[in-house]
Amino acid sequence: MSESDGPKQVDDPNYHSENHTAVQTCGWTKNALRGEGRCYKNVFYGIESHRCIQMTPVVKCNERCVFCWRDHAGHAYELGDVEWDDPAAVADASIELQRELLAGFGGNDQVPEDVFESAMEPRHVAISLDGEPTLYPYLPELIEEFHDRDITTFLVSNGTKPDVLADCDPTQLYVSVDAPDRGTFESTVKAVEDGAWESLIETLDVLAEKDETRTVIRTTLVGDHNAHHPEWYAAMCDRADADFVELKAYMHVGHSRGRLDRDNMPEHEDVVAFAEEMQAFLPAHDVLKEVPASRVAMLAREEDTWVPKLEKDSSFWQGDAQAASTGTH
């Protein structure tokens, strides 16, 4: 469906897109290709940054978070006229768009040939680029489609559709908890649908029921907005029985600069301090990891936090020459 035939589904920024599926190359993907470092998700979970697709099956969002770097105007279109692609078409588009975006790295003197070739065969997908992925009506089936292609899935949701998340079993499920109470939620997250806070609380209970899916509560800390009451955040993490807790500093970039000041961006030390305060109320999460370059800290129950199948000696990488060459975790 062309833009002239229906709603403009990919607005600003100008993502590479196919119908309602959008992909954008993460900066860490480019860095990893050039051997200039990897995303904190590699440190925490074992994701190979140069082999990870950052995508979304729908750009529309049902929240207007003050800290979001995206232009909220691009989230406002109606879904009624969208001609939804089936999960196989979305997966195909995601892979092909990623290859198109990375094609220019072929022949680059800074990128080893074997690294480039492996990047053309992605093994991870982060369903997190923009929008709220649970608004795509076939999200559980899309996750299974990626798994059938031997691609691990990392789904990020705002928790407003607990019934959808109950049916989703990604490799790892992140739910954004960006407020410890209703008042902060209303002023920081600014949901556009009634009952969003109640839906988030219900989602915590959905997470607690997950057995095979690894679960993460993630919080973007914004100074003078939501960085308070660590014990309340901890209670929400405890209710969700989350495997991991991620705390990340708000970054003063993109369209958020029109809503917040640079002073709202916490230093890495502030993030770690808040994590330690939460940890006091989460005694089982006695492991704290941090990546200063990304201003992120994580709480975990065990020292080894990698996805088990992403360990370099696992069957997931069998026959994968590039993975074998990177050594073991």
Per residue in 81-140, pLDDT (tens digit) is 889 999 999 999 999 999 999 999 998 999 999 999 999 999 999 999 989 999 999 999
Residue 259, both tokens: 């809503």
Q: Quick check: is 48 in a domain? A: yes
Strands (E), 36-75: 52-56
DSSP string, 105-165: GTT-TTS-HHHHHHHTS--EEEE-SSS-GGGSTTHHHHHHHHHHTT-EEEEEE-SS-HHHH
* Token pair belonging to 204: 């915590």
Residue 123 included in any domain: yes
Which CATH number does the domain housing residue 148 bear?
A: 3.20.20.70
Name the average pLDDT for the chain: 91
d(CA 208, CA 266): 30
Q: What is the pLDDT along the chain (329 residues), one digit of tens a residue?
A: 333 343 344 444 567 888 899 999 888 888 899 998 889 999 999 999 999 999 999 988 999 999 999 888 877 778 888 899 999 999 999 999 999 999 999 989 999 999 999 999 999 999 999 899 999 999 999 999 999 999 999 999 999 999 999 999 999 999 999 999 999 999 999 999 999 999 999 999 999 999 999 999 999 999 999 999 999 999 999 999 999 999 999 999 999 999 999 999 999 999 999 999 999 999 999 999 999 999 999 999 999 999 999 998 899 998 776 554 444 45
Q: Give domain status of residue 15, yes or no.
A: yes
| Structural domain includes residue 104 | yes
- Decide if 166 is inside a domain: no
Does 201 reside within a domain? no
**How many domains does the structure of the chain reveal?**
1
> What tokens were used for 42?
């590699």
Residue 164 covered by a domain: no
Q: Residue 6: its pLDDT value, please?
A: 39
Residue 290 lies inside a defined structural domain of this protein: no
Domain of residue 145 covers 1-157
